[in-house]
Chains A and B, each alone.
Chain A
Amino acid sequence: MEAHPDLTRGVVQGLGWLYLVMFAMNFVWTVRSFRRDGEFESLLGFKHLPKAFVWAIYTGTLMIFAAVHLTLRTSDASAFVLKLPEWFKLSVDWLIADPVKYFAASIVLFVLMLVLRRWWTKPTPAWILLNLSLLFLGFSMTDYDFRQIVGKPDNVPIVGMLFLTGFFTWLYFRQAVENDDRAAAGRPVKEKELSQQVLVWPDLVYTELVCMVLLTALLVVWGVALQAPLEEPGSSVKTPNPSKAPWYFLGLQEMLVYYDPWMAGVVLPLIIIAGLMAIPYIDFNQKGNGYYCYNDRKFAVVTFLFGFLPLWVAMIILGTFIRGPNWNMFGVYEYWDVHKLEVLNNVNLSDWFWLDIMDRSLPKPDATASLLAQTGTILTREWLGIVLTLAYLIVLPPLMAVTVFRNYYVRMGFVRYIVLANLLLFMAALPLKMVLRWVFHLKYIVAIPEWFFNI
């Protein structure tokens, strides 16, 4: 298949506009850099070269990019050279089309984000990251499959939202790092020292008015430019392939891959909501009230961000861009082949125990026996999973109380600690089950389809 089946002039010109916007952004940045960043002592033999020089070269390159894209003739589209190399596409696909690698990568990114927070919240690194992500997007757009999935009208706003998530995470870390530095130096926090009060009238009201106008304009443009993704009338016997939940439920849909509908669709979402509501009551840390900080609230921040970024946002990305037909995983540069074969044979814990370890057939409830006898057979069949699950929820909290959470237990008291421990365990249940599925091909720990009860 041709690598760029329809790299039309429209697409190329759209990219030209993107590069033009990037040029404008970086022009401003170069000016800022010239004023603030100082100079290199010595670079390539030149003495006292301003650091803005590098930005100027980059900005000029973007200008050339934009000019080339915007002035391209129609007939040249197929001969277009500014596209991604194959090796890059293959390595990206290799990384993200596999659930284990994808999840591992998201965890690594998460840890890097925490460890390198002092570096990436500085303006220049943040600007470099933003430019890299925009360049990645721009270059990837030359790939047909990437364009199909990212350029879908449903998915365009999600791309925008990812940038927004990145920005707000950056904003939080920037403020937190600054306040941590202030606390280390014994100075009052930023919110206290520079309490920048704003008058409601006219300042705040005008700001809100401007935001309102801009957002309305954005919505109008969005509504006109991106067609509503309407499909044929719904039918109970026809399911689109792939069938995707709304973007905000893609985390749940991913959870449903690993859990029974009752667990992933009812129990776990309720626990998520109840747990979020419980946070103010189980939080005993008096610090961090009314100001950004990281060091003062490490546990709370890391726990929340872990639940939000790798376990929710990353799942939304996975569900939006990577899950394809038959809910298989596809790289973003990969063709959506309906017949892609992924071996996903799974076994229940009881299968594994009775068939492989005990080397006998599964105890099967006799349909003619009494209800009590059937129940006994079923429980005998699933005893290992039931014991493990109960141990997870009952034995682990006290164990954690005397080991890793000793301090917390003493300060929180029994009830609050138990609530916290159980919420943590439920949160950890998702990645644990994922790992078990990938490593041991484990389907359910407790599998009682007779009662619609599977864990």
Chain B
Amino acid sequence: MARKQKAGGAESTSPEPAPPADAPAEPAAEAATAAQPPVAPVAPADKPKSTSDILAAARAQKAGGAAPAAPKSTTDILAAARAQKAGAGPAAPAAKPGSTADILAAARAQKAAGGGAAQPGTSSASSPAAAKKAAPPPEIAGLPAGSKPSVEAMLKAVRTGDAAATEPPKPKLPVKASAAPKPPAKGESRRSFLDTVLSPFVIGFTALAAWGAIGSLAAARFMMPNTVLELPSRFKIGSASDYPLGMVSEKYKASRGIWVVHTDTYDGRNIIYALSTVCTHLGCTPNWLDAEQKFKCPCHGSGFYVNGINFEGPAPRPLERVGLRVSEDGQLEVDKSLKFQEELGQWTDEKSFVQVS
């Protein structure tokens, strides 16, 4: 409506607003003084072409209600009633837009009405009785919906009719009665309890909670894998005579993560010791290359001599020794809970090696 007014104001050359779009309604508004029966209700007698027709009819009806004027005939009354009802009557099809085209047509018509006086041609043109007083001249009213009248035409319309500045009455939009029966109030039936319990909201959140609970349990289970986390750190590896001088035994590499080395290249002492198979650079497992007499890490190329001292690649410190001793039964016993680091001077510790002869 506001848009309609604005558009009308913009188009108008006179200070007064242009004749409101729904010209047939005007006489009805002035019916009290003019004592002229409104003609508009006649209009819907033709089958309304569009929503705007119905709206015009509704407006007319309202205006008629404000200043009762004798309808001319039964058909008028019926038409008015139909227009008011607008939901079920024969006028309905237009009110209930059947398709996008209908809606578009209605919108177009409304817009055109805002542009000036473009009332849907059928109703205005078919009511010559409305002519003299306020209705726009036929050259305007007769324009097809959508085309705007020229300024001259509008001026003429303003001059001839004493265009009332009255606001176009608001259309009484057809109210669609809600047909659905009210749902039974709570406690009305035994089913209400089930309805509450089985409502999508409750089901949804119950499912979500169950899913979350199962997920939490799974996560908790995942935190406790079915593995032996730590092998016993003390284990026997046989007697010292199993490890001849110059030997690097890889026997316990895969199962326990140690090499057993018998060498005399560290401090010139003839000793057996156990080296941890963890590279001191980034923790990969180096390989013992017998031909090159070195431990070589496959990840970044660190290299260690047989005595565990780092000499190539990025490893910053020697391999670590683990504890080794001769147990009571004469076998060598490794204790992985002890660590001996060369750079901290711990390789001199008696627990880090076994002296041979």
Interface residues of A (CB under 8 A from B): 235-243, 253, 256-261, 265, 325-328, 338-339, 341, 343-346, 364-365, 367, 443-444, 447, 449-450, 452, 454
A115 to chain B, nearest CB (A): 34
Residues of A contacting B300 with CB < 8 Å? 253, 256-257, 327
Interface residues of B (CB under 8 A from A): 253-257, 277, 280-282, 284-287, 289, 291-292, 296-301, 303, 311-314, 316-317, 343-346
Given that A237-B254, A339-B292, A346-B311 are contacting pairs, would A449 and B317 also be in contact in the complex, using a CB cutoff of 8 Å?
Answer: yes
Given A257-B313, A326-B298, 6 extra CB contacts under 8 A: A243-B299, A338-B289, A339-B289, A367-B344, A444-B316, A449-B280
- Residue contact A261 to B298, C-beta cutoff 8 Å: no
Given that A257-B314, A344-B303 are contacting pairs, would A327 and B345 also be in contact in the complex, using a CB cutoff of 8 Å?
Answer: no
- Residue contact A344 to B313, C-beta cutoff 8 Å: yes
Residues of A contacting B277 with CB < 8 Å? 237
Task: Among A265, A344, A346, A367, point to the contact of B345 (Cβ < 8 A).
Answer: A367
Residues of B contacting A450 with CB < 8 Å? 343-344
Residues of B contacting A256 with CB < 8 Å? 281-282, 299-300, 314
- Residue contact A260 to B316, C-beta cutoff 8 Å: yes
A433 to chain B, nearest CB (A): 10
Task: Among B301, B311, B343, point to the contact of A449 (Cβ < 8 A).
Answer: B343
B339 to chain A, nearest CB (A): 14
Considering the complex of A and B, which 10 residue pairs feature the smallest CB-CB distances, nearest first? Answer: A327-B301, A344-B312, A449-B317, A241-B298, A239-B285, A239-B284, A449-B343, A367-B345, A454-B316, A326-B296
Task: Among A240, A260, A344, A444, point to the contact of B298 (Cβ < 8 A).
Answer: A240
Residues of B contacting A327 with CB < 8 Å? 297-301, 313
Given that A339-B289, A443-B314, A449-B343 are contacting pairs, would A237 and B253 also be in contact in the complex, using a CB cutoff of 8 Å?
Answer: yes
Residues of B contacting A265 with CB < 8 Å? 282
- Residue contact B301 to A257, C-beta cutoff 8 Å: yes
Residues of B contacting A261 with CB < 8 Å? 281-282
Residues of A contacting B298 with CB < 8 Å? 239-243, 325-327
Measured CB to CB, the nearest residue on chain A to B289 is A339
In whole angstroms, how far apart are the Cα atoms of A265 and B343 in the complex?
22
A79 to chain B, nearest CB (A): 37
Measured CB to CB, the nearest residue on chain B to A339 is B291
A319 to chain B, nearest CB (A): 11
Residues of A contacting B316 with CB < 8 Å? 260, 443-444, 447, 449, 452, 454
Residues of B contacting A444 with CB < 8 Å? 316
20 residue pairs A–B, Cβ–Cβ below 8 Å: A237-B257, A239-B284, A239-B297, A242-B299, A243-B299, A256-B281, A256-B314, A257-B301, A326-B287, A327-B301, A339-B292, A341-B292, A344-B301, A345-B311, A345-B312, A346-B313, A364-B345, A367-B345, A443-B314, A452-B316
